[in-house]
Chain A
Amino acid sequence: MDITEYIKLVFTDYTLRTITLGTAVLGAVTGMLGSFAVLRKQSLLGDAISHAALPGIAIAFLITGAKDSNILLLGALVSGLIGTFWIRGIISKTHLKSDTALGLILSLFFGFGMLLLTFIQKQPNANQAGLDKYLFGQAATLLERDVWMMTIVTGICLFVLLLFWKEFKILLFDADYTKTLGFNTKFIDILITTFIVLAIVLGLQTVGVVLMSAILLAPAAAARQWTNSLGVMVFLAAIFGAFSGVFGTAISASQNNLSTGPVIVIVAGIFVLVSFIFSPSRGLLFKQIRFIKNRRDLQLHKTLSFMFRIAETHENISHPHTIKILNNFQGFTRGTLQKLVRKNYVKLDGKNWSLTEEGFKTASNLYNQQSENNE
């Protein structure tokens, strides 16, 4: 299937359009809120919450007997919130550390959820099929009203985010200062955590319990590499998230036997990888290039200062010396020598070199600066 045909299909085919829109909206909202999770060092909270939501889905089904996804997601929301606050209780009231609390709640809630799911499967009423889709997610089951639901929640998130932008930002970077300014930090904290839980619960139907945390983190981690400003980061994360959703859906739709969730995660992972390597200020590639450049500069300076010390002992600074005497000095290469010539610091004359006026000046300043720095 070529690309133009696919794009045409996206606009005409109901299922494909719904899924594409749904994953795009989902990617955007999780990217947006994921930025806060990443910056607050709560990355793994997403993983814990998504697992903790499972018993909520099962209990909601047991109580209502309905398969309406909104009711099930409401159950997931409640149980996710209970999990979150229990994690906080464990961390603040006992000496167990945050990683233990997260792993504990994650696995215990998930195990309880599994117990309930297998219990439901043995029940006589047969319309329970479809609960396991929350384990690994099935984007294909998205309906138009689910997409509307996601869009509405995204709208609310965006509104609250803009409304409390200043508070969120200040709490993120300096919680103590926020408290001294008289903000109700507990309220802001609960608000933001609730929205993170909400975003996770929305994604359960599409990508499932297991992979949800990656959808939350990956766009934010990728966006973090390109900017130091919170606003730009949230915006970029939303865009990365949306594109992961669209591309992931496209790839999984064009192949047989590919579920959407894992493909979206891998696409998001590629975004992260590219950002890690190619981001101009923090990326590994440019960091390495800067590192090499600095090392060359240092060698250049080393050679220059060595020359300077030789030239210093002579009356005439441009007195020629043989290149040979530089040989027992490791900072010297043919390349650096050429570079010094190009910068007009050194004159080469056959096998001899001599410092120019400019080179002598730079070298003496270099020396002074170094000694000043050392003090």
Chain B
Amino acid sequence: MSSAQIEIQLIAIIVAIACAIPGTFLVLRKMAMISDAISHSILPGIVIGFFITQDLNSPLLILLAALTGIITVVLVEYIQKTGLVKEDTAIGLVFPILFSIGVIMIAKNANDVHLDVDAVLLGELAFAPFDRLIVSGVDIGPKSLWVIGSILIITVGLLFAFFKELKVSTFDAGLAASLGFSPAVIHYGLMTVSSVTTVGAFDAVGAILVVALMISPAATAYLLTNELKRMLIYAICFGVFGAISGYWLAHWLDASIAGSITTMLGLLFLVVYLFAPNKGIIAVMYREKQQRTEVSLLTFLLHLKNHTEDSERHVNHLNEHINWQKVRSKTVLDLALKNNMIQIDKNIVSLTEKGEAFTSQAIDYIITNEDAQIEHMKNDFFLFRG
């Protein structure tokens, strides 16, 4: 590995971590699309900043662009407050218009601006190591590494300082307000951090892919855990994994680094989406199937309890009476047998003592409809656990 390669990976990793932290909170606060809006609407801020400073990495430009991000949030909230359109429409209107203003500003001044819409939106990480920061003649590393590094340090500092406040206001804004933390301050603080991070990172990975780095590690982590600290750690790990593996994918395919990082994050999400232990698609579908069988079993047992006559309890009769397919009735019957709920005597089904007890409890549950009871019931009897 050459030093340029190491530097690129280092920048990618730091960007990934700096994005994952605010991203986690955005996902939890249901504001993921705001980050998309910010990433587009900072363009006019970048252009104006560029007119003034002529340098894409100057702090003034970052501040101006972050200010545009805040203006976006305020505008969206104002439009939403007027009640003329819904929040999502407000977001969808504000950012393309600001973005268009930026594009037109670039186009009108194309001759004296060395700024490309593609570069702002898509970024090019491969060139980042060539723009070096030189302090009194000594080369101390790529500029964007310093920019995004300082943003990361500020973000981490703020995270540790205000972790408690962030946590409370994210999950219970009312409680936070009554405890004396202003939700508005935390809200706009988070928005500011997101804007600054977006601006700092656009140079490396491009504005749109910042969104990917913010949302997808957090969303992937959210499928695996419900605990905030763990979610943060997972999100950071996923981000770092995406950054490194994405870099090598790009190296191998000779394609855009930012695109490969996103693709790796996408694959990671797909895998977790399918196979996550509790919330993955396969687990959810399996659970739904089990629950369907459980309900069928309950219906079946209630039917048995209600009928004493032999004809109603004949095995063959069940198919037509409850209107089940053959396979389904077989599954239910086997399950009930395995749990000692029923006994079959000459093709006549009857409840055992355990089955009687279970069914009475089930009726109790249906009458009172208290959630606690069914959990209790499941523990007493159930079912798929051998």
Contacts and interface: CB of A to CB of B under 8 A. Distances in A.
A210 B84 contact: no
Given A108-B212, A266-B101, A96 B219 contact: yes
A326 interface: no
Interface string A100-124: 1011101111111111111100100
Chain A, interface size: which category? 35 or more
Interface residues of B, number: 63
Nearest to B88: A43
Given A96-B219, A214-B92, A282-B84, A114 B30 contact: no
A94 B221 CA distance: 13
Contacts, number: 195
Interface of chain A, main secondary structure: helix
Contact of A100 (B32, B118, B281, B285): B32
A132 interface: yes
Contacts of A110: 208-209, 212, 262
B27 interface: yes
A210 B40 contact: yes
Contacts of B30: 97, 99-100
A197 B91 CA distance: 19
B13 interface: no
A107 B206 CA distance: 11
Nearest to A213: B92
A21 interface: no
A41 B121 CA distance: 27
B269 A114 contact: no
A160 B325 CA distance: 38
A119 B263 contact: no
Contact of A269 (B93, B117, B253, B279): B93
A374 B92 CA distance: 43
Interface string A235-278: 00000000000000000000001110111011001001000100
Contact of B208 (A51, A262, A265): A51
Q: Most chain-A CB neighbours within 10 Å: which of B254, B262, B279?
A: B262
A218 B100 contact: no
Contact of A107 (B82, B122, B215, B280): B215
Contacts of B266: 108-109, 111-112
B261 interface: yes
A53 to B, nearest CB: 14
A164 to B, nearest CB: 24
Interface in B216-245: 216, 218-219, 222-223
B31 interface: yes
Nearest to B86: A41
Given A100-B27, A107-B211, A210 B89 contact: no
B259 interface: yes
Interface of A: 38, 41-44, 46-47, 51, 89-90, 93-97, 99-100, 102-104, 106-119, 122, 132, 135-136, 210-211, 213-214, 216-218, 221, 224-225, 257-259, 261-263, 265-266, 269, 272, 276, 282, 284
